[in-house]
Chains A and B, each alone.
Chain A
Amino acid sequence: RKEVEQDPGPFNVPEGATVAFNCTYSNSASQSFFWYRQDCRKEPKLLMSVYSSGNEDGRFTAQLNRASQYISLLIRDSKLSDSATYLCVVNMGNTPLVFGKGTRLSVIA
């Protein structure tokens, strides 16, 4: 089983739609969780951390389910500028962050 798994997509959604991505991780001792965003041919950038209680940043909501070992990212009112690849990232302890392969989102006018 891969350490961090994501549906590669693509998710093609119209502007204004709500879209959700899930990610599962294999190591139950994983300590912290993040979503990164990577635009086409650009470097990844931190989008948001994922807290146990769930957290929201504007149109973006991240949630963690430790029992089921999955993380989710919800984007409301999608914008064209949200088109990117979203990377699920896990800190499994005293090792560098482990990145999923990403989920590609295309928001269509």
Chain B
Amino acid sequence: QIQLVQSGPELKKPGESLKISCKASGYTFTDYAMQWVKQAPGKGLQYMGWINTQTGKPTYADDFKERFVFSLETSASTAYLQINNLKNEDTATYFCARGHTMAYWGQGVMVTVSS
């Protein structure tokens, strides 16, 4: 069955960096784009952008053009989200989702940024 399994929760300090993973299984990884969505505590969904899993080209929504990097390890069917120079407002759950329709979602990674 199709699964997106994300890495575990993170506790970081402002200014640090982190990289979270999204491992896909049950389908051909390069057949579908991978999307990223942010959900701050108690808030709604905010679209971050997507990465073309065939070419590796990332596309970022306006609010995520700085400090955020999407990447792939195609041989491992894994997508990554890296956040640099973490800020308190990056505290959120980050989801990966498959394809442009976002028909399948990972379980989310809770990121806490606190000094």
Verify that A and B bind, or say they do not: no
